[in-house]
Structure 1
Amino acid sequence: MKRILFSLAFSMIAILTWAQYPQVSIYDLQYVDPSDLANCNDSSSYYGDTVVIVGKVVTPGNVTELASSSTAGGYRPFVYLVDTTNNSSPGAFKGLQIMGVVNSSPFNDLDNLNAGDVVKMAVVVDRYYGETQCYPINTNTGSIANGDAMEYVALNQAAPTSVQVSLGDINNSNNVNQLSTGEQWEGSFVELTNVTVVGVYYNTAQDRVNFDVIDNNGNMINIYDKFLAQRLSNWQTVNAQSPQSTGSFNPPTSGLVYTSLKGVLGQYASDCNSGEYQLMPFDDSHYTIGVTPPSITSVTRTPSYPTSSETADILAVISDYDGTVTSATLYYSSTPNTSGSYTPVTMTLVSGSTDEFEASIPAFPDGTTVGYYIEATDNDNNTSVNPVTGFTSYTVRDNGPTIVDIQTVFDPANDDASPYVNMEVTVTGVVTASAQDYDLGYVYIQDTSATEYAGIPLYNGTDLWQLKRGDVIEVTGTVNENYGMTRLSVSNYDVLDYCAHVEPVYFDPSDATLYTDEAIEKYEGMLVGLVNPTAGTPIYIDDADAGYGTFTLASSMSASNSTYSTVGRSDNNVFSSLWVSLLADDYYYDNSGQIEVDTVMTQNGMMMDTLIGVMYYSYSQYNVFPRNNDDVIGLADANGNAITLDTTDLSLCEPADTTSVKEILNGVDYNMYPNPAKDQVTLEFNGLSNKMLTVEFFDVAGRSLYTTQVNNQVNNISTTSFENGVYIVRLKDASGNVLSTNRLIINK
């Protein structure tokens, strides 16, 4: 009798436990009111709730290929479901992603689901970069009533079908999500028709590829490789139930037309002005090729960076899948942004070749930026262009290329790849982040002569860990792209005999213009600072946990735009610092590298004067990576109470001799202390020799606040009128020449 009573009691508890989770339809879970979408709010009304849903499986579990260093086994199972109403027919707000991870443990039963299976699931409603993402309550399959996360309702049913949508309803021509018309299709199985490939992007390992397509109106979307269908032959599958051991996708070339592209629609968004929807095909049949114009590939330039006395020889492989190439033309211009300025040159077939065409660009003066593109036509009068939009460029340099040459792009919204990709270059830069203790853990360098397109990360080099912040180095390496981030694979570097300081470029984290046409691309790889444009006003953490270790900052809690920042993730996908105390998710305390300092969990409303860091880009997201706690300036809680972070002990550049530093400052060496300062800062000079110097203080917006002249060895300057924050101190000689620029922190 006791056993019977105990079993009955246990069953009642299970039923009551299940009963506390309401059952809702996928439609109700996903529906967002039009007024909310118009106000840039696409979050589910059930966000944060635990609910029970019923859905038909759209994507077979055995074709997912999402590697993850934060999940046990290195793989994340997931499926997409469709609402079962109206025989599971496709429709608005009827698609949903189930991410099969529970506290870093994979829910591997999802891998055994087939398209058409109907399941009931108890899930927690969450979101990741704008997309609704539901997590099972546990990793058990059986009965929802008994507390399991999933139960089978019906197996081996007809697979769901797709719905045709307009690309213009999803993204615009800048690849920016259109929430008002696109959000209804998030998570759904959709079809696009008559789209043209305009860019193809490989990762460094050459086992993954994504590509962009546009419709006839120029609207753009990225075709993302979340499933086996789009993994390349070098890819080793991570899904234990995969039907293949490697990928087998044959990537397209720019200009190829798909009469049909199908897949589930995902979202990767930071806000209304910079996020995007992405299409993710999950079966080979989802790619239907249409018109095949000539293929223009393997375009090379010799020499890679011509001097003013050299011509540039352009070679390309041009072929036609279903016919012959009838003409090929190279167009070039020394004013590439000027329409109608291009000169045509007929490309000729290389002797002994069947598909290699060549032509030359004449020499131009040093410093000239030259743009060029290739146009080819086949026997059916189909024409293709490489690149599909814009042009390829190089800058004529008698002394070799600069970091700015490598990073400058003219149309980042359509193509942010370096014009020097896959080329070996030698450049000079100052180390802004190092692999030393109390630093980012990765090396970045910057050209101090420029304030845009001036930074780049280094990797693969032997002994890069020895570099210190402030080192000036000459480095040789090969330029490559890793999911949109331009990097330099180092083969050799030399440390020069002097040190230099790099001042961050400051901007408003809510500046919408930076996200228009991807203008923020100009800061990729650079040392930047996020500040409020109103002097004396802080910036705010407006989303304390934006997913996967990120948080966002804005100039106000109601701002429409914000900028991402990541701390505590140091793995194969994200390369942020382990020496910063701010942490968005305590999971990352020791699961993606070990945090080396005491942590402070981010909270909405936290404020700070400035956040400094290097600008990183990956997976369609710009992200500021602070290097250590010194980069978090004036941190306070939502009530304005100051928060003290662990101190740092960073090893900086030490010059081989002080003479080289004095030479940089035209014979004047000086020390500014204390820094941070309160009511007074001291400027101490050596070698001044009765010279009259001008000292000028600016705020981070560039406004001059105070100017004084000094000619003493020791000069005390009052800062009592300065608010807490970051200021720029500039030293000039009597002729107005800038001798030095340094950052001063006021913290009273």
Structure 2
Amino acid sequence: GQTVTLTGVADCFSGAPQYLPAYPDHISSAGGGSPVISNIVYNPADPEAGETVTVSATVSDDGSITTVDLIYNAGSGDVTTAMTPIGGDVYEGEIPGFADGTSVSFWVQATDNDGNTTTSAPQIYIVGQSDGLYSIQFIQENRDALLNQTVTVEATVTMGFGSLRSDRTSIYIQDDSGYGLNLYNAAALTDLVRGTRLRVTGTITEFNGVLEIEPQNPAQDIEILATGLPVEDLVEEVSIAQAKSARWDGALIRVKGTVIEVGTNIGGGSNILVRDFSGSIVVRIWDSAVEAGLFGENTGSPAEVIERIFQKDDFYQITGIGSVYNGEYQILTGYGEDVVNLTESLGDNIIFNVETLMPGQIPGNGLKDEPFAPDLGEMLHLTINCPTESRFTLMVYDLDGREVRNLTPGGNAAGGYYEISWNGTDDNRERLNIGIYLLYFEIRDSHGKVQTEIKPVVLGTPTD
């Protein structure tokens, strides 16, 4: 959209007219380009409570600049203040002081004489953060504003060197906020194994949608604080539907489900498709993890090792890192200890029956696989019988994988005979919307082996 003035020779090439300026000064701008904003700096870099922050920026244009504004937000909405030219193309503005812990985001907006406006990418700082230490939760929730900024975090390695790559460092770390982050460096930092507590300073970057912290000089930017720490307390157990959320991107999560497909080895790793009551997800295991012996004895090719570990239709507990690849959620697993086969027959004396009872109807005479309408006084009647040495849970989930009701007597019941009724309410005893829900029955024996069953139920309403 920029207008230019040309001086040169008119010509024709292949039937198309063209104009040939002979020298660079034969091309001059007549305006029309947008302002260019660069070199944004704020000072002090670590403001204390009540301290004013000065922001400077270089703003240039092929015409003239009419306004340059500094816009900031400290949690109460955007505030705009004019920036003042201080010499050349440099402009300066101020952000007032705020209390400790306040998160302040800011950006610069410039408009030229042609009405073209440019807005810079946002930046962010935390008042009173003198040590420069950020929580990973804050980084994940403000990723756009923190891109290309330098931060410091303290975290524990959850997916260590070799579990994803062996030629360079691509590992995952997680702090006490429960959020995780990829740590990347072109060097092979082999001492960064699972359970290492570290303090790292690096630049926040993004690669193919993966948020990373990249230390520029590992010898100076990474300090190992402890080794051999357990990571179990960092694990969050979720349904597969819940795992498909940006909340768990980079975090250590655990799902339970049935293997429905052991895919072929592709792109340097194997994909295993796992399904639970709420949906399915790909579990990705890189060949480098198998070759490094992280899945035990690696006799045979990585694909052969994976095929021995995963059996189609068996029920597994899988721990790994929530991730996104090509817009699809997946779980990255890098250790044999994170894959547990829970399948084992618990005997034939397990009963899990579901029937709809109308008012006054005797259990055993109800309708099976039929909708029930609580507004008509109908109830869902469940009969459970399982070995006394086992324990069971009985949950109701919606189709998005959210728990809506815990029907387990006492929250985690011992084996035995039970009759349980449900009137279509949630844990707050409020009536659920009509629709399809999933009854999830899980029984676990004294050795930790698990058997599950899922039954869909339809919550209906009376019709005329």
- TM-score by structure 1 length? 0.38
Find the partner of 1:319 among 46, 60, 80.
Answer: 60
Deviation at 1:327, TM superposition (A): 0.9
Distance, in Å, in 1 between the alignment partners of 2:327 and 2:152 is 28
Q: Deviations over 1:586-631 (max 9, x none)?
A: xxx99xxx73982317999645343211123454444321121222
Residues 1:423 and 2:149 are matched in the alignment? yes
Q: Deviations over 1:691-745 (max 9, x none)?
A: xxxxxx999989797999xxxxxxxx9986895679xxxxxxxxxxxxxxxxx99
Map of 1:521 onto structure 2? 246
Find the partner of 2:337 among 630, 644, 655.
Answer: 630
Amino acid of the residue matched to residue 114 of structure 2?
D
1:713-732 to structure 2, matched below 5 A, reads 723=442
- 1:479/1:494 Cα in 2 relative to 1: closer, same or farther (>3 Å)? same
Amino acid of the residue matched to residue 487 of structure 1?
E
Q: Deviations over 1:5-24 (max 9, x none)?
A: xxxxxxxxxxxxxxxxxxxx
Say whether the 8 Å CA contact 2:171–2:182 is kept in structure 1. yes
Distance, in Å, in 1 between the alignment partners of 2:273 and 2:101 is 39
Say whether the 8 Å CA contact 1:330–1:346 is kept in structure 2. yes
Say whether the 8 Å CA contact 1:319–1:325 is kept in structure 2. yes
Deviation at 1:398, TM superposition (A): 4.2
1:700-719 to structure 2, matched below 5 A, reads none
- 1:595/1:546 Cα in 2 relative to 1: closer, same or farther (>3 Å)? closer
- 1:489/1:364 Cα in 2 relative to 1: closer, same or farther (>3 Å)? same
Q: Deviations over 1:136-158 (max 9, x none)?
A: xxxxxxxxxxxxxxxxxxxxxxx
Secondary structure at the counterpart of residue 136 of structure 2: helix
Residues 1:485 and 2:177 are matched in the alignment? no
Deviation at 1:329, TM superposition (A): 0.6
Amino acid of the residue matched to residue 174 of structure 2?
Q
Secondary structure at the counterpart of residue 225 of structure 2: strand
Map of 1:408 onto structure 2? 140
Residues 1:564 and 2:282 are matched in the alignment? yes
Amino acid of the residue matched to residue 96 of structure 2?
P
- 1:544/1:348 Cα in 2 relative to 1: closer, same or farther (>3 Å)? same
Secondary structure at the counterpart of residue 286 of structure 2: coil
Say whether the 8 Å CA contact 2:342–2:448 is kept in structure 1. no
Say whether the 8 Å CA contact 1:443–1:458 is kept in structure 2. yes
Secondary structure at the counterpart of residue 474 of structure 1: strand
Map of 2:172 onto structure 1? 444
Find the partner of 2:159 among 407, 430, 433.
Answer: 433
Amino acid of the residue matched to residue 357 of structure 1?
Y
1:348-747 to structure 2, matched below 5 A, reads 348-351=84-87, 353-354=88-89, 356-387=90-121, 391-396=122-127, 397-404=129-136, 407-409=139-141, 417-435=143-161, 442-448=170-176, 450-451=177-178, 454-460=179-185, 464-490=189-215, 491=218, 492-497=221-226, 499-501=229-231, 502-511=233-242, 520-531=245-256, 538-541=257-260, 544=263, 548=267, 549-555=270-276, 562-570=280-288, 595=302, 598-600=305-307, 606-634=313-341, 723=442, 746-747=448-449
RMSD between aligned residues: 4.8
Say whether the 8 Å CA contact 2:164–2:171 is kept in structure 1. no
Identify, as 1 or 2, the structure richer in strand. 2
1:146-165 to structure 2, matched below 5 A, reads none
Distance, in Å, in 2 between the alignment partners of 1:349 and 1:471 is 49
Secondary structure at the counterpart of residue 746 of structure 1: coil
Say whether the 8 Å CA contact 2:264–2:303 is kept in structure 1. no
Say whether the 8 Å CA contact 1:505–1:528 is kept in structure 2. yes
Secondary structure at the counterpart of residue 100 of structure 2: coil
Say whether the 8 Å CA contact 2:290–2:305 is kept in structure 1. no
- 1:578/1:528 Cα in 2 relative to 1: closer, same or farther (>3 Å)? farther
Secondary structure at the counterpart of residue 241 of structure 2: coil
Map of 2:419 onto structure 1? none
Amino acid of the residue matched to residue 464 of structure 1?
L
Residues 1:333 and 2:73 are matched in the alignment? yes
Say whether the 8 Å CA contact 1:545–1:602 is kept in structure 2. no
- 1:596/1:434 Cα in 2 relative to 1: closer, same or farther (>3 Å)? farther
Amino acid of the residue matched to residue 332 of structure 1?
Y
Distance, in Å, in 2 between the alignment partners of 1:399 and 1:470 is 24
Find the partner of 1:345 among 60, 77, 81.
Answer: 81
Distance, in Å, in 2 between the alignment partners of 1:629 and 1:398 is 41
Instruction: Figure out how many residues of one structure are paired with residues of the other and give that number.
Output: 334
Q: Of the two structures, which has the highest relative contact order with CA contacts closer than 8 Å and spacing of 6 or more?
A: 2
Taking only the aligned residue pairs, the percentage that are identical comes to 21
Distance, in Å, in 1 between the alignment partners of 2:84 and 2:183 is 39
- 1:505/1:326 Cα in 2 relative to 1: closer, same or farther (>3 Å)? same
Distance, in Å, in 1 between the alignment partners of 2:45 and 2:291 is 35
Say whether the 8 Å CA contact 1:424–1:479 is kept in structure 2. yes
- 1:376/1:323 Cα in 2 relative to 1: closer, same or farther (>3 Å)? same
Secondary structure at the counterpart of residue 146 of structure 2: coil
- 1:361/1:562 Cα in 2 relative to 1: closer, same or farther (>3 Å)? farther
Distance, in Å, in 1 between the alignment partners of 2:41 and 2:273 is 41
Say whether the 8 Å CA contact 2:65–2:113 is kept in structure 1. yes
Say whether the 8 Å CA contact 1:609–1:724 is kept in structure 2. no
Q: Structure 2: any 5+ residue segments left out of the alignment?
A: 2-31, 347-387, 396-400, 417-440, 451-464
Say whether the 8 Å CA contact 1:407–1:486 is kept in structure 2. no
Deviation at 1:461, TM superposition (A): 8.1
Question: Greater CA radius of gyration, 1 or 2?
Answer: 2
Amino acid of the residue matched to residue 160 of structure 2?
S
Map of 2:436 onto structure 1? none
Q: Deviations over 1:192-246 (max 9, x none)?
A: xx9xxxxxxxxxxxxxxxxxxxxxxxxxxxxxxxxxxxxxxxxxxxxxxxxxxxx
Distance, in Å, in 1 between the alignment partners of 2:291 and 2:47 is 38
Distance, in Å, in 1 between the alignment partners of 2:447 and 2:160 is 22
Distance, in Å, in 2 between the alignment partners of 1:488 and 1:636 is 39
Distance, in Å, in 2 between the alignment partners of 1:394 and 1:553 is 41
Q: Deviations over 1:438-491 (max 9, x none)?
A: 88864322112x23xx21222338773223422322222332222222222233
- 1:465/1:292 Cα in 2 relative to 1: closer, same or farther (>3 Å)? same
Map of 1:56 onto structure 2? none
Say whether the 8 Å CA contact 1:406–1:419 is kept in structure 2. no
Distance, in Å, in 2 between the alignment partners of 1:579 and 1:493 is 26
- TM-score by structure 2 length? 0.57
- 1:529/1:553 Cα in 2 relative to 1: closer, same or farther (>3 Å)? same
Secondary structure at the counterpart of residue 302 of structure 2: coil
Distance, in Å, in 2 between the alignment partners of 1:311 and 1:486 is 31
Say whether the 8 Å CA contact 1:395–1:401 is kept in structure 2. no
Distance, in Å, in 2 between the alignment partners of 1:745 and 1:334 is 53
Find the partner of 1:295 among 29, 36, 39.
Answer: 36
Say whether the 8 Å CA contact 1:524–1:616 is kept in structure 2. yes
Secondary structure at the counterpart of residue 599 of structure 1: helix
Amino acid of the residue matched to residue 331 of structure 2?
V
Distance, in Å, in 1 between the alignment partners of 2:120 and 2:198 is 35
Distance, in Å, in 1 between the alignment partners of 2:95 and 2:326 is 35
Distance, in Å, in 1 between the alignment partners of 2:165 and 2:113 is 55
Amino acid of the residue matched to residue 483 of structure 1?
N
Secondary structure at the counterpart of residue 293 of structure 1: coil
Distance, in Å, in 2 between the alignment partners of 1:706 and 1:497 is 42
Secondary structure at the counterpart of residue 567 of structure 1: strand
Distance, in Å, in 2 between the alignment partners of 1:343 and 1:368 is 15
Map of 1:220 onto structure 2? none
1:41-60 to structure 2, matched below 5 A, reads none
